[in-house]
Each structure stands twice: as C-alpha cells, then as structure tokens.
A and B are shown apart, each in its own frame.
Chain A
C-alpha cells in the first residue's frame, strides 16, 4: 500500500527556486497558512493592538519575501514552524528598535486577508500563552483544519455529495463543549438516513479530510522529513513522497 501520494516540492524548495513566479507562489502559500496563527500569536504573546498586529503580519511576510529571511532555514536545527515564529519575533523586535513604520503590501498578495474575522476569533483562542511554540503550533493546526473543512465542503458540493459533508458537519464539527452528546443514532435521525449510511459517510469524510489536509500541510513545512513527521503526528499516516520528482 502506498501512502498518500503528493507530487510537488516542499515549500522551501519552491522558495529557493530560481523562477520568481514559483517563489512568489510559495510565499503566498506560506502566508495563507501562517498569517492567522501569526496574527493571533502577536495579539496574545506580544499584546499588540489589532492594528499593530495586522501591520506586523503584512510587513513580516512582505519583508521576508523581499529579503529572503526564510531561505536561511536549516532543517537540522528546528521545525520550519518554529523557525518562522522565531523570525517573526526577531522582525518585531527590529521594528520596535528602528521605530519605523512597517512596509505594507508589496509583491506578496496578503491584502485581502480577513483580519477583522481573525480578531473576532481571538476571543475564542486561549489567552494564556505559557509555551509560545505550542501556542503557535496549535493555532497553525487550527488554521489548517479550518481551511481543510472549507475545501471539503466545496469539494463535496462540486461532486454532488452534500450528504457526506452534512454527516461530517453534524457529527464531527458540532461544538463538543455544549454538553449535548451526538450519537450516531441522533445524527442519523436528524439527517433522515440509516445509522449504517451515516457511519459509512463519516468514514469517507474523515478519510477525505485527512487527504485534503495533507496538501496545505506540505506548504507549511521545510523538508520532506518534517512533512512525514507532521503527517505522522497529526494523522498517524505515512506519506509517499516517491512521486515528488515527477512534476
């Protein structure tokens, strides 16, 4: 059995690519995966105001792109996520020392990011940042999963299988802190399907969730090894990267 085949280069390899278009695409993928965790991190850990945090996130990804901060990543020293957070910390400290306004906009298109939405979510994010690395990791996973759920909804709608997503939404995305137990029987009754149909749909949806999440996950790590480790930790799966060079 092969693992989940993924056929493109790591995001770091793309960042280091000679082709400017490839490099820009890699930075956009990185920004998409990390802007929200970065914003929440700056708000919670550094207690920046919403405006300061927004400026800092935009400035960081723009300057990182222009000055090649992230190309210096060494997989032997840390995970890419940790490296990126450390770069963000350093950027913030440099900005404070220089007391200069951060540069907004630029080549990396991050102007359309939903900062007001991220700010609304902040109320639901832990206020206690005891371990910055762990906080950043948890927020990265939260953002990854949220994006995957959105991708899943679109994919099932496109394929004409909204029932599968409805089962997933009712059973696995229902807020589990509201005290109401969601049994297979109660969700099946609510959807008007037999329990066996529901459990089959849930199996299919969870497998799809895992497969879809691996695609953006690949854009958040710095090496094949790190990708394998993250996939193993998150989903208990081993990924097959042998097809990598086929593109």
Chain B
C-alpha cells in the first residue's frame, strides 16, 4: 500500500487530534501549538458557537503538564475580566489528556501584528494589558509569562492576555485540586520552576527565586518598551515615560512598582500630564511640565499681554 504525501501529512495531523467522542464538540480543526499543548477550533453543537479547545500535549508520566493546564483553566475561570479569555469547560479526553474549552478569539498576537504606529496607540494597548494584569494581581494571581506572543488583539480592538499556563496563585484562594469529574486525585500545586521568556522575565524569576506581582511589573516594563519601540528607528521617549519603564525594569523587585495597578496609575498620571511617581521633579521639571500641560492657556495669556502692550504703545 502506498500513501501519498498528502495522506501521510493528514494522518500525522489527525493522529494528534483530540478524541472528543461525546459529540458535543465537532468540526475540530487545529489552530496552533504552544509549550503546554495544542489549541483547536471546534463547534460547540448544543450552543451553536465556535470555541477554542486547549489540550495538553500528552499525558507524561511524572510531568506536571496536565496539572499546569488544569490550573490554567481554573485560574482563568476565576478571572472574569474583559482582558482575560473566558473559560467554558474543563475535562479529560478518552486518552487521558486534559482539555479546557474557552472563547475562540479571532485575531493576532502582538508578535504577529504590526507594532502600534504612535505613542498614543501603543499606550492604549498597554493600558488594556496592564488593566487585566492588575485585575489578576488584585485576585492574588501573577501571570509570569507576559510577552508580545501572549497578547491577542482582536478585529474590534479587543486586547486579551493569553497563556496563563505558568501563572502562580499567591495565597491559593483558587483550589488546584482536581474537580470531582476528573479522574486524577494526586494533583498538587506545581513546584516552582524557571518558566517564562528571556527578555521579558524578571531577574529573580530567571534565577529561580521568589516571584511576586513585581515580577509581572518587570515584564510589563519590557512590554511597554517593546510596544513603544516599534519597527522603525528608536523613538525619543519623554523623560517621564522613560522613567516609568525604568522603574518597571529595576533589578531589585523591591524598587519596582509593587504591582500592575501602580503601573496603571502612574501611566494615567503621565497621560494626564501630571507628575509621575517614577520621576522625582525639580522646580525646573515642574515648570516645564506645567508649561507643556497648560500650553494653550499660556499662549493665549501671552498673546493677550502682547496685544495689550502693543495697544498701549500705539496710544
């Protein structure tokens, strides 16, 4: 029997597809693959909607892949936020692999798309990301793998933080034990491991040390720099904006912003033209910032004064 290249390719593909034999999810198609598993699009028949299904790569004896995927689903289920993809279902396939079902997000990751063209556009995207991370921090969850390929942007301006596979629950308010419908019972919190992406990973995380919200702050700083840099020549960033990035990227986590909400707040101050916590101001700095913030009024007053002077001279 001879199998053509097309048939061999098809067999290689379908042999790794999930066995969703209960009939709820049909029309399964591969979407992509990541470190922990593969993502498929499928039709949720009873509800008549398209969903995404993430499935762990394989049941590895002694591996924590299953536990991580299960934890990711349960973390996501607790974080209901417009910037975090909602989870609909969690279960086990017939062959033992863990899967969870989530909203199908149509769009591109930041890594796949053109960087924002302007500072304002870059900051808008960043604020949406930082808002979602701040929400997670408020719920004692840290992401630990923030990077452009984990940020999805949709056709209608949605910005979603994806891939919470290495997320850590700080005080374990979310149970990581297996739900009753899942077979395994020997689940425990995954042991701390060095997971993340160089360039976006905080030094303490890379060194395998203690991590916290400030570790995400470091990644947010790297992401903000990445968004502002764009593809072209390096932009000259305003001092206060540079200071915000620098404060995110300080090596010692104790000297960074304590969490993402502090970054969001300081960025809002920058956007409003106010002083930022990242940059102590001198009198000159304050005068320059005041001048920049109120330039229209200053110009109008100056024009009025000049006009008054000219009228006085003419008389």
Report A's interface with B, CB cutoff 8 A: 1-3, 120-121, 124, 126, 138, 141-142, 145-146, 149-150, 172-177, 184, 196, 199-200, 202-204, 206-207, 209-210, 213, 232, 234-238, 240, 242
- Distance of A124 Cα from B4 Cα, bound (Å): 7
Of B71-79, B91-99, B143-151, B169-177, the one contacting chain A is B91-99
- B26 near A146 with CB under 8 A, answer no
- List B contacts of A210 (CB < 8 A): 15-16
How far apart are the CA atoms of A184 and B26 in the complex, in Å? 10
B 1-19 binary contact with A (CB < 8 Å = 1; else 0): 1111111101110111101
Count class of interface residues, chain B: 35 or more
Interface of chain A: mostly helix, strand, loop or mixed: helix
Q: Check B15–A206 contact: CB distance below 8 A.
A: yes
Distance of A203 Cα from B92 Cα, bound (Å): 15
A154 to chain B, nearest CB (A): 12
Tell me if A209 and B15 are in contact (CB < 8 A): yes
Q: How far is the CB of B152 from chain A (nearest CB, A)?
A: 23
Nearest B residue to A150, CB-CB: B1
Main secondary structure of the interface of B (DSSP, over half): loop
**Would you call B58 an interface residue if the criterion is a C-beta within 8 Å of the partner chain's C-beta atoms?**
yes
Interface centre among A150, A174, A203, A232 (most CB of B within 10 A): A203
- How many pairs, one residue from A and one from B, have CB atoms within 8 Å of each other in the complex? 102
Q: Which residue of chain B has its CB nearest to the CB of A123? A: B2
Given contacts A124-B2, A236-B16, A238-B59, 17 further A-B contacts (CB under 8 A): A1-B184, A2-B96, A3-B60, A120-B2, A142-B5, A172-B11, A173-B3, A176-B4, A203-B94, A206-B14, A206-B19, A209-B11, A235-B15, A236-B58, A237-B58, A238-B58, A238-B63
Q: Is B127 an interface residue (CB 8 A)?
A: no
Q: Which 8 A-B pairs have the closest CB atoms?
A: A1-B96, A236-B16, A1-B59, A238-B58, A176-B6, A238-B60, A203-B21, A121-B2
**26 A-B pairs with C-beta separation under 8 A:** A2-B96, A3-B58, A3-B60, A121-B2, A124-B2, A142-B3, A142-B5, A142-B8, A146-B2, A149-B1, A149-B3, A172-B11, A173-B3, A175-B4, A175-B6, A176-B6, A196-B23, A203-B21, A207-B95, A213-B15, A232-B57, A234-B15, A236-B15, A236-B38, A237-B58, A238-B63
